[in-house]
Amino acid sequence: MNLAPQPVLATPTPSPLPTVSIHPGSAPLPPGSVLPTEAQCAASVLRSYFEPRPANAIPNSRVPTAQQLAGLTHWGPATGQSPRADTLRQQITGNFTGTTDEILQWVACKWGFDPDIVRAQAVDESYWRQLAAGDYTNNRSLCPPGTWDGTGCYQSYGILQIKYSVFPSTWPMSHYDTAFSAEFMYGEIRACFEGWDTYLQGTGYHAGDLWGCIGRWYSGGWYDGGAVWYINKVKSILAAKTWLQPDFAGA
């Protein structure tokens, strides 16, 4: 019998997830890029106790069900998009929980954009309030289920204000699930950025123009008056980094 000491075999260390390079000030990942995985983006999030919106705690902890995700309208010719856009729609899961800022980081990483731009747009749309509602209407046909108050309702909900009359299949996740709400909207931005918004043909629209796509989210048009006004608002918030100002948490 060989009683000599035997070498101790080291337990293999799992390889860390590859890092992703989407940080404040980064250029967006160009059209046609392979986007980071959800796991890579979760690993890249800078975790902290920064939470200017404690009221978001419940929606920040919610994720959609498989049934809700299966009910999302397909992106393609019926929605004014290339059929290729549906490859992005199929990647939407809302499968992340954390603070409001952590969720915005994850969304920015997942779709290949600068997190500060996502933060700035969320300031403009809702001041980072997931339960925010806007676009009051007296037309009952435009109201999400259960929101008619006898005289009207709000049409737009969530941290980035998804309008029910435009995206009815996102209800009620658009209102109650922060990660879903933010990433659905930025999935739309990514489809535009890829050049897949076919309804904009003939307007000068082209792939790779993030600010044009941000303006399109607001107005539906390509650098029309409303889009330019909105772009300038978001750029001003971005320059001021409003979410880091002392009065943001109390606003």
Q: Dihedral of the CA atoms 226, 229, 230, 235 (nearest 10)? A: 160
- Sign of the Cα torsion 141, 142, 143, 144 reads positive
Q: How many CA atoms lie within 13 A of 191 on its CB side?
A: 31
Q: What is the pLDDT of residue 20?
A: 59
Please tell me the distance from the alpha carbon of residue 144 to that of residue 148, in angstroms, as a whole number: 8
Domains of the chain: 38-240 (1.10.530)
- CA 198 vs. chain centroid, Å, equals 21
For the chain, helix (H) and strand (E) counts, in that order, are 10, 3
Please tell me the distance from the alpha carbon of residue 216 to that of residue 206, in angstroms, as a whole number: 12
Whether omega for the bond prior to residue 115 falls within 30 degrees of 0, making it cis, is: no
Picking from 168, 164, 188, 34, the residue whose alpha carbon sits closest to that of residue 107 is 188
Q: What is the pLDDT of residue 127?
A: 97
Q: What is the pLDDT of residue 18?
A: 47
Q: What is the pLDDT of residue 47?
A: 94
**CA max distance for the chain:** 91
- The answer to pTM > 0.75 is yes
190 Cβ contact list (under 8 Å, min separation 6): 35, 88, 111, 112, 113
Per-residue pLDDT of the chain (251 residues), as tens digits, is 344 443 333 433 443 444 555 678 778 999 999 999 999 999 999 999 999 999 999 999 999 999 999 999 999 999 999 999 999 999 999 999 999 999 999 999 999 999 999 999 999 999 999 999 999 999 999 999 999 999 999 999 999 999 999 999 999 999 999 999 999 999 999 999 999 999 999 999 999 999 999 999 999 999 999 999 999 999 999 999 999 999 999 87
Strands (E), the chain: 133-137, 153-157, 162-163
Q: Is 90 left (phi over 0), alpha (psi -120 to 50) or beta?
A: alpha
